[in-house]
Amino acid sequence: MTRAMPATGSDPRRSVAGVGRVVLWKGGSVWMGRDTGQVQPHSHHAIQITLAPARRIRIRGAAEDAWHETSAAIVMPDRPHLFDGCGHTVAMVFVEPETLAGHALLARHGQRDVSLLDDEGLASRAAALHAVFEARGTDGALVDAARGLIEHLAGAPVGRDVVDPRIGAVLERIREHPDAELDLAQAAAIAHLSPSRFRHLFVAQTGISFRAYLLWARVGYAVVRGLAGGSWTEAAQQAGFADSAHLSRTCRRMFGIAPTMLLPEGKAPRLPGTAAA
């Protein structure tokens, strides 16, 4: 059951205090966070599946006036939106639209920027994903649970790309080595195309520029590096950003928060009235 709510401000005590874990795989990722709060309008290249079993979160498209209160929602790629976790533990599962599963999700839910999910089999799969997180399961177990959930919603397997193989080769290179230097000319050479032809074909196949996709891949890698320890300046440099300010701007644009607001599991400050894990 879902309901719409006026677009009022969130409780000022709430903020995005931390993300417990972020795990990447080729073409997707899962972000698990506790005590999540409201983020600013943002958009990112991946489809976003937001899940809070037995809890109520708020979400809306940037062009909408009212919040939708729900426990599960899906956001289409590159669509500005806002999110408020209302202090709960929330799972964010990201699926790149170039994958077979992403393509299927676009076909099913692409008519709206934000759609509320009311799937009979989704609740148990979302609960299983959260259970792995609460049990501090392995990264592999977390990925398996997330990918199983994606395949249930999409009715298609996760992993394989459905783009032109020449563009697919470049996507594969970026996903395998998001931290490596790669300019337009080098990417065009991988695709065996001229830079001009590659630029146009990349946009036609993915909907965004080569540079924008590279930043998308790198920001996820930087977040994983930052949560693994060390400074965000080091994480920015390791991911190929010019500096931490560049990473911060990119993260705010794509996720509505600064990377410094993301903390490893166990280090996020708890809010009054919230239970310890």
Domain extent listing, the chain: 3-161, 165-255
What's the count of helices (H) and strands (E) in the chain, helices before strands?
9, 11
Predicted local confidence at residue 184, as pLDDT = 98
What are the b/e assignments for 218-248, b being 16+ CB within 10 Å? bbbbbbbbbbeeeebeebbbbbbbeebebbb
Predicted local confidence at residue 32, as pLDDT = 94
- Backbone φ and ψ for 10, nearest 5 degrees, come out as -80, 160
Predicted local confidence at residue 157, as pLDDT = 86
pLDDT tens-digit map of 135-145: 999 999 999 99
Predicted local confidence at residue 17, as pLDDT = 47
As a whole number, mean pLDDT of residues 181-186 equals: 97
Residue 113 pLDDT class (50, 70, 90 cuts): very high
Which runs of consecutive H residues, i.e. helices, occur in the chain? 100-109, 122-134, 139-154, 165-176, 184-191, 195-206, 210-227, 232-238, 244-255
CB contact set of 128 (below 8 Å; sequence gap of 6+): 145, 148, 149
- Residues 26 and 214: their CA atoms lie apart, in Å, by 14
Angle, helices 244-255 vs 210-227, to 10°: value is 100
Q: Is residue 77's pLDDT more than 60?
A: yes
Q: Is residue 267's pLDDT more than 70?
A: no
Residue 271 pLDDT class (50, 70, 90 cuts): very low
As a whole number, mean pLDDT of residues 21-47 equals: 93
Q: Which CATH superfamily is domain 165-255 in?
A: Homeodomain-like (1.10.10.60)
Residue 205 pLDDT class (50, 70, 90 cuts): very high
As a whole number, mean pLDDT of residues 202-229 equals: 96
Predicted local confidence at residue 266, as pLDDT = 59
Q: What is the C-alpha R_g of the chain?
A: 18
3-161 topology per CATH:
Jelly Rolls (2.60.120)
CB-hemisphere CA count at 13 Å for 197?
A: 9
Residue 12 pLDDT class (50, 70, 90 cuts): very low
* Mean per-residue pLDDT of the chain: 89
Residue 129 pLDDT class (50, 70, 90 cuts): very high
The proportion of the chain whose per-residue pLDDT surpasses 90, expressed as a percent, equals 77
Predicted local confidence at residue 2, as pLDDT = 44
Three-state secondary structure string covering 249-277: HHHHHHHCCCHHHCCCCCCCCCCCCCCCC
Predicted local confidence at residue 212, as pLDDT = 97
The reported pTM is: 0.89
As a whole number, mean pLDDT of residues 66-83 equals: 96
Q: Work out whether the CA dihedral 23, 256, 60, 273 comes out positive or negative.
A: positive
Residue 276 pLDDT class (50, 70, 90 cuts): very low
- Backbone φ and ψ for 30, nearest 5 degrees, come out as -130, 130
Predicted local confidence at residue 7, as pLDDT = 44
